[in-house]
Amino acid sequence: MTETAPLPNGNGSINRPIRREVDEEEEENIFLFYPNLIGYSRVILAVASLYYMPLHPRTCSLLYSISCLLDALDGFAARRFEQSTKFGAVLDMVTDRCTTACLLVFLASAFPRWSIVFQGLISLDLASHYMHMYATLSMGGSGQSHKKVDESRSWVLKMYYSNNKVLFTFCALNELFFIALYLLSFSSPYLSPTLLKDSQEPSSLQPGSPAAPKPSLLFTSPWSAGAMEMARANKMDSTVPWILAVISFPVMFGKQIINVVQLVKASKWLAEGDRLERRKQGLPRKRASQSKKKL
């Protein structure tokens, strides 16, 4: 900022410029940090993959996979440009939880017999991460990161969160298993049998009706569950999805064990804090016995 002071002129007055440096810190726009911009692109790609999810498995898998892979890139950008923020950490976690939940919801509808399993996986994923985040913020302080786990509390979580390669491997193969199941819902007759019976089988309809009625007679809406399953039937080869599912299953199962450990440890940490707080408040209060002997 520049201010002017008088310098001498012909009339005896002084009119001289003096520059005064005023330190004015510019307010950073956290929302435009590079890792957060990557996070927004992840959200856009995830939404696009959901749009193509019902009937376009290849396009959906590609968009969903890119969104998941960018999860590693935003962490690298945060360290490279020194732009690690709490908003970015929460955005990253919320995006992960929501995208995985949306995929599991689709799998629950694609495999009705296993819907309770997918519902349980959604609940476990959300509950364990919420409890862990809340316990970290309430017990470890507002400046504590959920990825900084003391080894005395859990060596499993310490190894899981402290090593970026381990964290990336577990998260990537966990998502790969669910993507493989998604692809199998389009290709494997063992997992997704058609709702319509074969035309050679006897019909349960009344006499005089065709043995194999037209799909339009059964599925009036093109977006009904039956019509969508017919559209998905045998749409692609199941060899590669089966291979991916078999390879990634052990890591996915291990990831669910880690979620259980995370949920239990966070619950115990919160209970420990509750006990300390109750001691400070003098709880439980010792009540005097109400039954006193009458003199």
Nearest CA to 175 out of 232, 259, 261, 97 is that of 97
DSSP 224: S
DSSP 154-214: -HHHHHHHH-HHHHHHHHHHHHHHHHHHHHHTTT-TTTS--SSPPTTSPP-SPTTS-SS--
- DSSP-assigned letter for residue 150: -
Q: Is 220 exposed, middle or buried (0-12, 13-18, 19+ CB in 10 A)?
A: exposed
Spell out the residues 6+ positions from residue 50 whose beta carbon is closer than 8 angstroms to its own: 60, 102
Q: What are phi and psi of 2, to 5 degrees?
A: -115, 135
Distance CA 122, CA 2 (A): 60
Radius of gyration in angstroms for the set of CA atoms belonging to the chain, rounded to a whole number:
30
Rounded to whole angstroms, the Cα distance separating 56 from 66 reads: 16
**How far from 232 is each of 7, 184, 188, 228, CA to CA, in Å?**
85, 10, 10, 6
Look at the block and give the residue holding tokens 């992960």: 96
Q: Which of 92, 96, 198, 274 is catalytic?
A: 96
Catalytic residue flag (residue 23): no
Cα-based angle 112, 251, 80 (whole degrees, multiple of 5): 115
> Which residues are marked as active site?
96
